[in-house]
Structure 1
Amino acid sequence: MLLSRLLACLGLLLLLSGHLSGRAAAAPAPHLTGDWQGSLSAAGTDIPLVVHLQQQPDGRYTGTLDSPKQQAYGLPIASITVRADSVVMRLTAPAAVLAGRVSTDGQQISATWQQGGRSAPLTLRRQGTAGSAAPAVRRPQEPKAPFPYRAEDVTFANAGSGIRLAGTITVPPGNGPFPAVVLVTGSGPQDRDETIFGHRPFRVLADYLTRRGFVVLRYDDRGVGQSTGDRASYTAADGVTDAQAALAWLRQRPDVQAGKVGLIGHSEGALIGLLAATQANPPAFLVSLAGPALRGVEMMVRQNEDLGRAAGLPAEQLAANKTLNQQIYLTILQTPDNQQAQAQVTKLLTEIGMNAAQARQQAAGLTTAWYRQLLAFNPEPLLPRVKCPVLALGGSKDLQVAAGPNLAAWEKGVRAGGNPDVTAQELPGLNHLFQTAATGLTDEYGRLEETFAPSALAVIGDWLARHVKK
C-alpha cells in the first residue's frame, strides 16, 4: 500500500534472518483449528501476531491474522495449504507468506514470515481458547449508511490485457453529468478501499469527494478481490493499462462529464498516474498522494535511510546499510540476466553474514520484474510531458516517500515542460497514509484512529473544485 511493497508491506520492517529447511515427514496432517500466537522481531521492536484457523466441513482451512500492536484485526488469509506437518499460509493484504512446520505434539508452528523480499523467523504457539474475539478497532471516519449518494458495485474490461476489473462507483444525487475521479492504489496487492490495518482510506476519500459532487470509481487491483488477472507477473506498466481502462469506462457513462475525468494515485498509484498522463487519452487532472518523483534507486535508498533513522539505528549502521543497498541496486540495474544478478546479490548478502539459502531467497525477491521496473524508474523525462493540472501532496512525516525532495521534483519537472498549473504542497504532521502522526513509522499506522486527515481531504476537494469549474 503504498510503496509498502518496497520494504515489507504494511510496515513490518523485517530483519534478514532465519530460513526453513528440511523435508516434510510422511505423517498425518495435524489438526490446526484454534488460535496461534507469536512475535516478529523488527528493527528492535517485537510485533505480536495472532493467527485464527478454522477447519471447514470439506477439510479446507480458513483463517485471519491479527496484529494487535498495530491495531489490525481480521486480516484475511487468502489460502492455507496443509501437507503432512507442513503448513503454508498466503495473505494478499499484506502480501506475505507464512510457511512452517508443526511440532509433533501439535502445539507449535516453527515458521518464516516472508514479505517484500525479506524474511524473518516466526514461532507460533497454540493458545488455550479458540475463536477468541478481537477487540473492537475504532475507525471513526469509516462512512456509515445512509449515504446521500448512490453506490454500485461494477465491473469493466481491460480488453488489451484480457481481464475484468471489479470496483465500486459512487454517484452524487441529481441528474449530472458530474466530474469524475479514478482512485489508483499503491504498491502490493490492494483492494478497492486500499485496506490497511483496519483503515479503508479510499472508502473515506470516495465518500468525501462524492459528497462534494464527484463521481468516484475505485477498484480491486488485478488478481485481488473480484478482479481477474495475474499478480505474479504484474508491473507498474500493467497498472497503467488498468487505470486507462478505468478512465475510458468512466468517460462513456452518461452521468459523467467526459472531459473532466481525472486520476488520484497514492504512492505507486501516483507513479502510474504520471505514466498515464504522458500517454494517449491522459486524465483531465492528476493528484499525486505521496507519489515518487525521484529516480527509483535514489528513492529506495532514501526510504531505507529514513525508516532506519526513525527506528533508532545508529549512524554507523545506517551508513553500512546505505552502502550495501546501493551496491545491490546498482548490481541489479547493471545485470539484466536474472541468474547472474541473483548470484552477485547472493554473494553480497553472504559477505555480511547471511546464510546462503536466505541470501538466494532475498536475491530472487529483488530481481522480480516489478522490482526491476521500480529501480529503473526515471521520472525526469516524463514530468515535462505532463500537460494536465497537477496537485502533488506529501506529509512532512512520510518516511516512505520523503515529501521535500519528491514534491520539489514534481513541481520543477512539470514546470520544465511549460505547464504552470502544478501545485506541490507539504502537509505538516502527516505520514505516508495522510494520517496525523507522531513518528511517521509504519508500525504507528494501525494504532491511529484517524484514517485520512480532514485537512488533507479539504486540500484535495478544494483544488479539484477549482479546476473542474474552469
Structure 2
Amino acid sequence: MYNEALVTIESAFPLSGTLTIPEEKQDNYPAVLIIAGSGKGDRDGNLKNLQMNIYKDLAEFLTSQGYMTLRYDKRGTYKSGGNFNEAGLSDLIDDAVEGVRFLKSHPNADPDRILILGHSEGALIGPAVHNREPVDGLILLAGAAERSADLIPRQSEMAYAEMNVAGGLKGWLFRTFKVADRARKQNTQIFRKVSDSEKTVMRVKGIKVNAKWVRETLAYNVLEYLERADCPVLAVTGEKDVQVPPGHARLTAETVPGKSEWHIIPDMNHMLKDYEGEHTMLGIMKEYKSVADRPLSPRLLEVIGEWLVAQELMHSK
C-alpha cells in the first residue's frame, strides 16, 4: 500500500505529476524519478487508444520496495503547461532535471538516495539528466546505446525490409507499388527538410512535425553521457524488443565507467510486457494492443527488485 499525491514540478512550464510514498512511516525514503518514453503518453504510460499503465505499474512496484516515486505529464500534454509540438529533446531533459531537483528538495525524500528510471526515450535522456543533476543510480529500460542518427534510420529500414518479404496479398501490394522505396524516399525528404530548417514546428505534407525535437534527437548521442555516468547503472532490454537491439543492454553496461549490471529478459518486448508471438515492426501496434492489459514482465520486476536491494546494502555499509 502507498499514499499518493498530486504535485507540480516548477520547470519552464508547470508540470503536473503524481508522487507515491510508502505507507510505512519513515523520516525519509529513497526516491525514483520515472522518465517516460517518446510520444504523447500520459504520466501513467497511456495513450488515448492504448492503455498500458507502464509507469503507474512501475511506480506501484517501486513503492512496494520502499521507494518514493515521481512521474509526470510531459510539457504540453494532459495537465502540464507548455506546447508539446514546440518541445525539443533539450526541453525534455530540462524538465527531467527539475524533476530530480523536486525530489532532492522534498522533505520525505533522502537527497543522497535519488535514482532515475528511464524507459525508451527516457533511458536515452536519463544519463544526460544525471550529467546535469547527479543522482545515485540509473535504471535504463529498453534504452539504446548508439547515436540516435543511427538508431532511427535503422528502425525504418527494418520496416522496409519486412515490406519486401511480406507474404500474401499485402506483400504483393507492397512490392507492386514499391511501398518501401516510396516510404524511404519520403522519410529522407522529410528529415532533410527539417534538418535544413530552424523552425520549431513545421508542416510537412500536411502533417505538423515537431521539427526542433527531430533535429535535436538526430543530433543526440547517448554514448557521450553514458561514458560519464559514474553512478551504479542497471540496463535491461527485452529479448523480443524490435525497436532497440536487445544487445544494447550489454553495450550500455560496458560503456559506463561506474558499477553496472545488464540483463536481457526472455520474451519481453519494448513495452516491458511478455509476448510469445511473432515480433515485427509492421505489426508492432497490433502486438502492443494485444498485451495492453497484461502485467509488467515478472522477471523484469525481479531484476529491478534484486538490484535495488543490492544498492541499499551498499548504502548501509
Q: What interval of TM-score do these two structures reach, taking the shorter chain for normalisation?
A: 0.7 to 0.9
Deviation at 1:326, TM superposition (A): 8.3
Match of 1:262 among 115, 126, 131: 115
CA–CA distance in structure 1, aligned partners of residues 217 and 193 of structure 2: 11
Deviation at 1:301, TM superposition (A): 2.0
Q: Determine whether 1:179 maps to 2:30.
A: yes
SS in 1 for 2:42: coil
CA–CA distance in structure 2, aligned partners of residues 463 and 260 of structure 1: 14
Q: CA RMSD in A?
A: 2.7
1:190-269 equivalent positions in 2, closer than 5 A: 190-196=41-47, 197-269=50-122
CA–CA distance in structure 2, aligned partners of residues 325 and 360 of structure 1: 10
User: Do the aligned partners of 1:303 and 1:402 also contact (CA within 8 Å) in 2?
Assistant: no
**Shift in CA distance, 338/223, structure 1 to aligned 2, threshold 3 Å:** closer
**CA offsets 1:303-329 (integer angstroms, 9 cap, x no match):** 123345567745987984796488548
Q: Determine whether 1:371 maps to 2:242.
A: no
Give the corresponding residue for 1:188. Answer: 39
User: Do the aligned partners of 2:160 and 2:180 also contact (CA within 8 Å) in 1?
Assistant: no
1:13-162 equivalent positions in 2, closer than 5 A: 148-158=1-11, 161=12
Deviation at 1:443, TM superposition (A): 1.4
Give the corresponding residue for 1:411. Answer: 253
SS in 2 for 1:183: strand
CA–CA distance in structure 2, aligned partners of residues 238 and 370 of structure 1: 9
Q: Determine whether 1:458 maps to 2:296.
A: no
**CA offsets 1:82-109 (integer angstroms, 9 cap, x no match):** xxxxxxxxxxxxxxxxxxxxxxxxxxxx
Q: Determine whether 1:293 maps to 2:135.
A: no
Structure richer in strand, relative to its length: 1
Q: TM-score when scaled to structure 2?
A: 0.83
**Shift in CA distance, 446/322, structure 1 to aligned 2, threshold 3 Å:** closer
**Shift in CA distance, 469/253, structure 1 to aligned 2, threshold 3 Å:** farther
CA–CA distance in structure 2, aligned partners of residues 390 and 373 of structure 1: 25
CA–CA distance in structure 1, aligned partners of residues 300 and 143 of structure 2: 15
**CA offsets 1:419-441 (integer angstroms, 9 cap, x no match):** 2x122221111111011112332
Match of 2:266 among 428, 435, 440: 428
CA–CA distance in structure 1, aligned partners of residues 301 and 97 of structure 2: 24
**Shift in CA distance, 295/247, structure 1 to aligned 2, threshold 3 Å:** same
**Shift in CA distance, 319/229, structure 1 to aligned 2, threshold 3 Å:** closer
Deviation at 1:270, TM superposition (A): 1.1
CA–CA distance in structure 2, aligned partners of residues 321 and 297 of structure 1: 21
SS in 1 for 2:25: coil
Match of 1:282 among 121, 134, 137: 134
Name stretches of at least 5 consecutive residues in structure 2 with no aligned partner.
none
Q: Percentage identity across aligned positions?
A: 29
Whichever residue aligns with residue 426 of structure 1, its letter is I
Whichever residue aligns with residue 20 of structure 2, its letter is T
CA–CA distance in structure 1, aligned partners of residues 230 and 182 of structure 2: 39
User: Do the aligned partners of 2:125 and 2:222 also contact (CA within 8 Å) in 1?
Assistant: no
Q: Determine whether 1:337 maps to 2:192.
A: no
Deviation at 1:251, TM superposition (A): 1.3
**Shift in CA distance, 153/297, structure 1 to aligned 2, threshold 3 Å:** same
Q: Determine whether 1:360 maps to 2:237.
A: no
Whichever residue aligns with residue 212 of structure 2, its letter is A
Match of 1:272 among 106, 125, 142: 125
Name stretches of at least 5 consecutive residues in structure 1 with no aligned partner.
1-147, 343-357
**CA offsets 1:106-140 (integer angstroms, 9 cap, x no match):** xxxxxxxxxxxxxxxxxxxxxxxxxxxxxxxxxxx
User: Do the aligned partners of 1:166 and 1:220 also contact (CA within 8 Å) in 2?
Assistant: yes
Aligned length: 294
CA–CA distance in structure 2, aligned partners of residues 188 and 457 of structure 1: 24
Q: Determine whether 1:166 maps to 2:20.
A: no
